[in-house]
Every structure is written in C-alpha cells, then in structure tokens.
Amino acid sequence: MNHELDHFDASPVGDGVLVRMSDNVARTLAHHLGLLSRFLEDDVYPEPRRSLLRRRPPRDVLAALYPDACPSRAESEDFRARHAAELRDAAPVRRALERCATPTPFVLTRAEVDDWLIALPLARRLPRRPGPERVMVEAWFAHAHEYLVLALRPDLVDLRR
C-alpha cells in the first residue's frame, strides 16, 4: 500500500520551474485536464447537464468558462465572440495534460508554465456537482496555480512580514 501524502510543489530552477507532485495528484490533474480538453474541443460536458446544478448550465462552452468576462452580459457575449478561437484553444490544456503523465520531479520551461497557468484556472471552472469533492478539486487547482506563480515570481512573497 502506498502511503505517499498528496502534494504539489513548484520551485524556481534555472530558466524554469521544478515540479514535484504525488502520483494521486498527477492522476487527478490529468483526469480533470482531460475533461477540460474534451469540453473545449467537442463541447462534451463532464457530467450529465441536468444533474450538475439546480439550474441548467449554459449551452455555450465559452459562457460556462467565462460567464462574466466583462461588466455587462452584452459585453461578455461580445468578448467571447471576438476571442472565441483563442478561448477555445485546447492546445495548452493538452500540453499540460501530457506533462501530468511525466514522472516527477520534472522541469517546466516558462512556455510550459504558461500552458499550466492557462489550463488550471479553466479546469476549476468546469461545470460539476456542488459538494465537498468539488471544493477539494477547486482547491487543488488553486494550490497548484499559486505555487507555479510563486515559483516564477518568488519576489511576490515578502518573508519579512
């Protein structure tokens, strides 16, 4: 039995970021990034729509991921229409997904970190049932995102406080 504690850690190294994560975290990230990739590319919702929430989620993938991109509904719709190709680009998600299959530790280049910084917040926005599991999944994505940002910009943390 494997008693490894779940963890995700990122630290600066050379011109990249050293990533260490437990096998379970890698599998979990890969699972949700795979759902996100299918969501972006094929409009495949991760779960049956009617069971997600009391109200039906938006039919439009971009409206689900970017519901309030601008202050007004009309501006948000215009923003999503203007930037649809870029917003639906699943390539960064696929590249982050491929890296989840790489045994850790591994080093991400700055370009690869950018892919992860795009993919992780989007994965948090996937429609899913409310409940404790949703909270944990969203917390892990936020944790990984924060650690990657701080690995790129350690100066954002003032340890003198």
Residues 147 and 156: their CA atoms lie apart, in Å, by 11
- To the nearest whole percent, how much of the chain has pLDDT over 70? 86
Mean pLDDT over the full length of the chain: 84
Q: Where are the domains of the chain?
A: 8-49+90-154
Burial of 113 (0-12, 13-18, 19+ CB in 10 A): buried
What's the pLDDT score for residue 52?
46
Give the closest residue to 131 by CA, choosing from 39, 62, 53: 53
